[in-house]
A and B are shown apart, each in its own frame.
Chain A
């Protein structure tokens, strides 16, 4: 910070340097106090990999179900319920794995940069992401409750995108573009309703890996070399 008090008799040019320093300090404090900057690109990549694994397992579960169905075994309501429960449990496991890994990489980055992990900006970011996300989660569960599975993937993508756009005010701005991408992808997927799982895999898998890599490249590559 400026030490102009201690150096009252400094020359004009060093006074200018101090002034520049003061302005850059102000900018830094404003930035650091309003945005959570420790978000790691590796968190995004890890979440994307989890999503792809999840989509692969889900695809196999669905294949098995349809093989049974096509063999002429009468599909009972119980079978469908079991299928739904399997998929919901899978979704929860994948979500937890993705969250834990995302947490670990971001926590690690905060520690490396000697920044607090849990501060004002982290709380703001979490709250602004969680609000649309929880609303979306409950909405999707309600759709499943009425066996309306067609719009599960589009709803996941659109709500998640809105959550990211909402939270991006409090973190790195790249997150906003990831949010836009998810929303657009979600809306497109409403027109390809039987390819829901593929859109889901692109949105939560591929896009996470792409944006995670971009963010890692932009902000972390230098530090880790």
Chain B
């Protein structure tokens, strides 16, 4: 998953996946509609990337209810947190390297 040269995480190459992770790093739990609103993406597009992140074990999904309506919330996992901070560290190293 990691690029051996730069240490960048391939999963976060995509701007929507990176956006989801950025939001979940600073918010304990966020539901689908709030993610959609903040990232300005379509349902299908967001859903695909969420599945991808879940398959990688970076986020966990909690299906709950508000009244009768389903309310699916997303949270970052320990592995996701580590992958994200590693990715940021790699980005920072790259900048240092360039300078």
Q: Is the CB of A33 within 8 A of B98?
A: no
Interface string of B29-72 (1 = CB under 8 A from A): 01000100111000000000000000000000000000000000
Which range holds the interface residue count of chain A? 20 to 34
B19, B34, B95: the one contacting A20 at CB < 8 Å is B95
Q: Is the CB of B26 within 8 A of A19?
A: no
Which range holds the interface residue count of chain B? 20 to 34
Given A12-B98, A16-B94, also A26-B18 (CB < 8 A): yes
Cβ of A81 under 8 Å from chain B: no
Q: Is the CB of B94 within 8 A of A1?
A: no
Q: Which of B6-38 contact A (CB under 8 A)?
A: 13, 15, 18-19, 22-23, 25-27, 30, 34, 37-38
A34 CA / B95 CA spacing, docked (Å): 26
For A16, the closest partner residue in chain B by CB is: B98
A29 CA / B26 CA spacing, docked (Å): 10
Q: Which residues of A contact B22 (CB under 8 A)?
A: 25-26, 29-30, 33
Interface string of B57-99 (1 = CB under 8 A from A): 0000000000000000000000000000000100110110011
Chain A, interface SS category: helix
Given A12-B98, A16-B95, A26-B88, also A120-B30 (CB < 8 A): yes
Cβ of A23 under 8 Å from chain B: yes
Q: Is the CB of B25 within 8 A of A30?
A: yes
- Chain A nearest CB from B52 CB (Å) reads 15
A1 CA / B91 CA spacing, docked (Å): 14
- Chain A nearest CB from B23 CB (Å) reads 4
For B33, the closest partner residue in chain A by CB is: A120
Cβ of A76 under 8 Å from chain B: no
Given A2-B15, A23-B88, A26-B18, also A33-B26 (CB < 8 A): yes
Q: Which residues of B contact A26 (CB under 8 A)?
A: 18, 22, 88
Q: Is the CB of B37 within 8 A of A22?
A: no
Q: Is the CB of A30 within 8 A of B91?
A: no
The 10 closest A-B pairs by CB, nearest first: A16-B98, A1-B15, A29-B22, A120-B34, A34-B26, A33-B23, A30-B26, A26-B22, A19-B94, A30-B22
Chain B residues engaging chain A, CB cutoff 8 angstroms:
13, 15, 18-19, 22-23, 25-27, 30, 34, 37-39, 88, 91-92, 94-95, 98-99
